[in-house]
Structures are given as C-alpha cells and as structure tokens.
Amino acid sequence: MTEHITEPRPPADAPVATPTAALSWRDGRLYRNAVPHRILSGAMHYFRVHPGLWRDRIRRVADLGLNTIDTYVAWNFHQPREGEPPSFDGWRDLERFIHMVGEEGLDVIVRPGPYICAEWSNGGLPSWLTAKDLTIRSSDPAFTSAVGDWFDELIPRLAALQACEGGPVVAVQVENEFGSYGDDHAYLRWSRAALTGRGIRELLFTADGPTELMLDGGTLSGTLAAATLGSNPDVARRLLADRRPDEPFLVAEFWNGWFDHWGDRHHVRGVESAVRTLRGIIADHGSVSIYMAHGGTSFGLWAGANETQGRLEPIVTSYDSDAPIAEDGRLTPKFFAMREALGAESSLRSPERLPVLPPARLPLVHRADLLPALAAVRARTTVSPRPATFEQLGLDAGMVRHIAHPRIPAGEHRLVFTDVRDRALVFVDGALLGVVDPNSPELTVSGAGGIVRLEVVVENLGRVNYGPGVGRAKGLLGPVLVDRRMVQGWQSTPVAIQEWSSVELSHALGAGPATTSAGFAAAELEVDTPQDTFLALPGSAHGFVWVNGFLLGRYWEIGPQVTLYCPAPLLRAGSNTVTVLELERLGETLELRDHPELGPPEEYVEEF
C-alpha cells in the first residue's frame, strides 16, 4: 500500500520558488538533476515527417540508443501569411510532437531560431517579413518587434513543456549559428532575454562553427557555447576548452551526412568516417546531437537554396541527408554502426522497414496545356509598368505568370531579362520561345512587325537559407528589354501551387485539350492497403507532383534525385489520383518503385 503525503500549502504571501532546470554544469561536466549526464541526441524535424509517422520515427531514433531528440521550429511553416495567427494544428502541432517524444521516454531540445538555416526555405523566416524594409537577424527594432510577436505565440507553449514543469524539454537554443552571419551581440542578448522573459528556465546554449571568428560572433557570456561540426572534434574541444574551461563539450550538430543540390551529385558520408568522428566526440567526454538522425522530406516547396558567388544552388526535395534512419525510415548500416559506437543496450529493437507497394507502371494522361491550365485557376492579377515580384504579390513560393503586349519590329531581336530569379519559361503568341535564368538571360525573338503576346512564367526554385542571400526577392526584378527598349505594361498573376487544393487542381486538369508537351497530367493508382512508395517520371523534364491533392515536391531530370518519397498516410484504400505539372516535356508514364533513387553518390565531409 502506497502512503500519500500531502505537502503543506505555503501562505498566500510566501515567495514562489523558481523551478530548477533539469540540466546544469560545473567543472566541465554536464548534470541532469544533479546526476552526471551525457546528451545523446538526434535531430528530427516534425515539419519534415508526416504526422502519421511521427511516433514510428521517434521510436527509431530511440532505438539508435539516443536519449534526446532535437528539432528546429520553422516560423514560416506556422505563419506563412502576414496578419494571420500562427497555426499549431495538424502537421504544425508542435506541442503534440514534443509530448509524443516525451511519451517515448526521450528528452527534447528545441531550437526556435527565429532563423534556423536547416536547408529550409528562407532559413525559416517568413518571406513577408524579409520583404520589409528592415535588417534581419539584428537589433533593428522592426525585426525584433516582429520576432517578439512570434515568440509571444511560440515560447509560452514551449515553456509549459519544460522539464521543470514536468515536460520533456531540457534545453533551448539561442538563435542559430549566428557567428557564421554577424556580430550584433545586442541582438544575441535580446534573443536570450526574449526566451527567459517568456518563461524559459531550462538550459540555454548557442551553437556555432568551431573557429575563433564564428565563436567571437555567436557566443554570449553566461550561456553555454556549443559547436557544430562534421569532423575534427578534438580541435573544437580544445578551442572551446581554452575559451570556456568550465563548460561541458557539446556538439549541437554533428554532420554525419549532407544535403544535395539540383544538378549536383548525391552527397554521402561513409560509415567508418562518420563513426570515427562520433567516437571522437564521445572520447572527449562530449555530448552530441546527430544531424540528422532522420532527415525526412522537404515536402511541397519548402526546400531552400544556397548561393555561391551569385549562383543559386537550389536544394532537392529529399532531406535524406545520408542519415542513419533513411528518408522512408529504413535502418541503414550507419544506424547499426553508430548504435554500437554509442554503447547502446543490446535489448534495443531493430524495427523492420515499413511495407512498400510493389513496383508498377501507370499511364500518364495529358489533360491540359500549361498556359490555359494556369489561366483556369483564378487569382488576383496586378497591373503595373514593370512585372510584379513575388513579394509584391504576397507570394512565398511557386510561380508568377506575366503577360505583356510589346510591339516587335520585323526581323530578329534580343529579348533580355536583366534580373530573373530564378528560372522563367518565355512564350510568344502561345509558343514556347525558350527558358531564361541568371546564367542565360537572353533569347532571340523574330518579329513580323506588330504586337505580340509575351507570356513569362517565372519559377521560384527555392529561397536562400544561409548567408547574406537570405531574404532575397524572387521574380523578374529588373526590366525586360527588346534590344534596348523596355517592355512596359504587365499583368502579373500569382500561381500559388503550394496552396492549391484538389479544387484548383481539378480546374487546371479541366482546361484541356492538351496539344503541347507541357502542362497537367494525371494517373490513377489503385491501392488495397496504403503503403509507402517512390514515384518516378521517366521521360519527364521538370515539374511538380501531387498525391490526392498533397504537393509532394519538385522533380527535375538534372538530378541527382530521381524518385519522390510518398509516405503511406498520403494514400487511401481504393483509387488515388496522382497529378503532375510538367513545365517542359511530359513523359508517358508514372512509375512506382520500391526503393529510393537519390543519385550517384559522392563522399562529402564538411571541414572547417
């Protein structure tokens, strides 16, 4: 029989005790509730995993021998439109995800940004915010005011889930790798105060690359300094120990794999190399978060981009990241090698791969040409002397359709796009003239002498998520010229495919007939029991795929990614509709494959 003891209630005027944080440190060692502790964490982003699979993936992370899951919080995922309250329902139910992690016996580290990088569109910052006249990631009052409003919604939810309140959250990160970006320490101090002032009592930490420059820019006195790295943990350990001898060694991101760009190769990290670095962190008495333990998928149009010497490098839809738990949840050889290196208990499970649909080939029925289909989906059109940008139209992702009616003299003339972000299909009188991008911004147009209908469909390939390019505008940012004369008088219409439902897709599909090689097509998939599958479009060039109205993401024949992962919860027993928007050349079939095809592998290890 258990004896229940009731604690005496303090008088009404007694001071309220401040909750004690679960994690603390002294003399270079980390403690959890005063007991020596090592954080063994794996990164998993709730926004990259279908909610129907959250628990399965959380359990697989636990089966890796880890005791913690860390996740970023993507502001733009919760509040894509200005003036609307943030959503915390459904796929965006962060609190449910955190509770679920706790139910599986794991701690949680939350990294609320507001900037998160993460190869996520705009680094998690809403495009409606970065379009404003303000300086992001700085102590600019216009920026901190907007972040404060967002944190007013977010942080109290996290505060209620802290370990000191009986929840699983044991640590919260201040900003994100700020030392790779700037040195506005007033902003960093504001960021820390924005967390504590809204109720965060658990361990706070910063995370930066292990160089003097980055640590100078991104660390704060009185706040634990963590490192992010892919190799040489001993170098990072010595650097941090020299600067902060009393602090425990924490690797907030151990890059055991890497992401991929369109047109590049598929980056992998060898098992032996990854495990050797992990063992080095452990040998240095370090705590670690494996980035990623499970990468998942940047569904829809949420994949970000990098920018190198002015050249955009858009990131693929898959965020597999060569993680120990693959995009579809498979346990890889890296999983078992890492689990052994972590000294995990032999009693841990090794869950089987989830069932996969058998391979199949389905005919693609071309239903409608591109331009009539886009015109069939109603949206507000803006008329202006120059083409309206994505930001001027309030459009975060997708495409913009521009129409003008210039007079083209007889003969051949240069059609020049002075600043196109990122890629545009150009049509003259309904016929495709060509494709322009920043590297190939000119086409030759032949005129018979008269007015033509010039249509330009501009595609946003992904917003930059790292470096000074975060927040760059999208669209036709400079004038369009016929030779040296500007084309003026434009109608600009947003094509917000990320927001389309089955209603908009049905309008597009019904805008036939189909007479060209680009446009909308559909295939019907009959399923007895919903199971995972991988979709491929042999012969198709570049476009987007929906399953039952859900936008899986972008495909592109330049690779490296070939297949799009379709998790079982997106399918239903019976008939399923797969819709394809092909921008250039539609193939004849849609293929279901029983394994991912992410492209030719290339070993990549990030080093400072």
Using the predicted structure, report yes or no on whether residue 13 has a pLDDT greater than 80: no
The span from the CA of 24 to the CA of 30, in Å, is 6
The mean pLDDT value for 537-559 works out to: 99
Question: Phi/psi of residue 356, each to 5°?
Answer: -125, 140
| % the chain with pLDDT above 90 | 95
DSSP H or E segment with residue 32: strand 29-32
Q: Do domains 34-298+311-341 and 360-368+500-603 have the same CATH topology?
A: no
Q: Where are the beta strands (DSSP E) in 283-418?
A: 287-294, 305-308, 311-314, 360-363, 365-369, 382-384, 399-404, 407-408, 411-417
Tokens of 271: 């098992």
pLDDT-based confidence at residue 9 (cuts at 50, 70, 90): very low
Using the predicted structure, report yes or no on whether residue 309 has a pLDDT greater than 70: yes
Using the predicted structure, report yes or no on whether residue 330 has a pLDDT greater than 50: yes
Q: What is the pLDDT of residue 17?
A: 53
Q: What is the pLDDT of residue 15?
A: 45
Q: What is the pLDDT of residue 3?
A: 32
Using the predicted structure, report yes or no on whether residue 83 has a pLDDT greater than 90: yes
The rounded Cα 401 to chain-centroid distance in angstroms is 25
Q: Are residues 228 and 209 in contact, defined by beta-carbon separation less than 8 angstroms?
A: yes
220-32-350 Cα angle (round to 5): 110
CA atoms within 13 A on the CB side of 376: 20
The span from the CA of 338 to the CA of 231, in Å, is 15
The span from the CA of 447 to the CA of 445, in Å, is 6
The mean pLDDT value for 36-52 works out to: 99
pLDDT tens-digit series, residues 484-540:
999 999 999 999 999 999 999 999 999 999 999 999 999 999 999 999 999 999 999
Q: Are residues 49 and 74 in contact, defined by beta-carbon separation less than 8 angstroms?
A: no
Amino acid letter for position 2? T
Q: DSSP secondary structure string, 571-591?
A: --SEEEEEEEEESS---SEEE
Q: Are residues 157 and 336 in contact, defined by beta-carbon separation less than 8 angstroms?
A: no
Using the predicted structure, report yes or no on whether residue 415 has a pLDDT greater than 70: yes
Question: Phi/psi of residue 329, each to 5°?
Answer: 90, -5
Amino acid letter for position 71? T
Q: Give me the residue spans of the domains in the chain.
A: 34-298+311-341, 360-368+500-603, 378-496
Between strands 533-536 and 411-417, the pairing is unpaired
The mean pLDDT value for 418-434 works out to: 98
Q: What is the pLDDT of residue 174?
A: 99
Q: Is the pTM of this model over 0.75?
A: yes
pLDDT tens-digit series, residues 280-299:
999 999 999 999 999 999 99
Active site residues: 177, 253
Using the predicted structure, report yes or no on whether residue 95 has a pLDDT greater than 50: yes
Instruction: Write down the CATH number for the domain with range 34-298+311-341.
Output: 3.20.20.80
Q: What is the pLDDT of residue 19?
A: 77
The mean pLDDT value for 433-444 works out to: 97
Q: What is the pLDDT of residue 163?
A: 99
The span from the CA of 45 to the CA of 352, in Å, is 22
* Virtual torsion, Cα 273, 279, 280, 282, nearest 10 deg: 150
Q: How far apart are the first and last CA of the chain?
A: 60
| 348 vs 55, more confident | 55
The mean pLDDT value for 188-201 works out to: 99
Q: Which fold has domain 378-496?
A: Jelly Rolls (2.60.120)
Q: Are residues 579 and 550 in contact, defined by beta-carbon separation less than 8 angstroms?
A: no
DSSP H or E segment with residue 171: strand 169-173
DSSP label at residue 360: E
Q: What is the pLDDT of residue 327?
A: 99
pLDDT-based confidence at residue 1 (cuts at 50, 70, 90): very low
Q: Are residues 521 and 588 in contact, defined by beta-carbon separation less than 8 angstroms?
A: no
The mean pLDDT value for 317-335 works out to: 99
The span from the CA of 265 to the CA of 308, in Å, is 16
Please state which CATH class domain 360-368+500-603 belongs to.
mainly beta
The span from the CA of 238 to the CA of 224, in Å, is 15
309: left (phi over 0), alpha (psi -120 to 50) or beta: left
Please identify which residue in the block is written with the tokens 């009959």.
526
Using the predicted structure, report yes or no on whether residue 319 has a pLDDT greater than 70: yes
Q: Are residues 532 and 352 in contact, defined by beta-carbon separation less than 8 angstroms?
A: no
Using the predicted structure, report yes or no on whether residue 12 has a pLDDT greater than 60: no
Q: What is the pLDDT of residue 5?
A: 31
Between strands 224-229 and 203-208, the pairing is parallel
Amino acid letter for position 335? F
Torsion 55-571-318-91 (CA) sign: negative
Using DSSP's 3-state secondary structure scheme, residue 519 falls into: strand
Kindly report the length of the chain.
608
pLDDT tens-digit series, residues 449-485:
999 999 999 999 999 999 999 999 999 999 999 999 9
Mean residue pLDDT of the chain comes to 96
Q: What is the pLDDT of residue 244?
A: 97
Q: What is the pLDDT of residue 171?
A: 99
Q: What is the pLDDT of residue 18?
A: 65
Using the predicted structure, report yes or no on whether residue 395 has a pLDDT greater than 80: yes
Beta bridge partners of residue 399, listed in sequence order: 459, 495
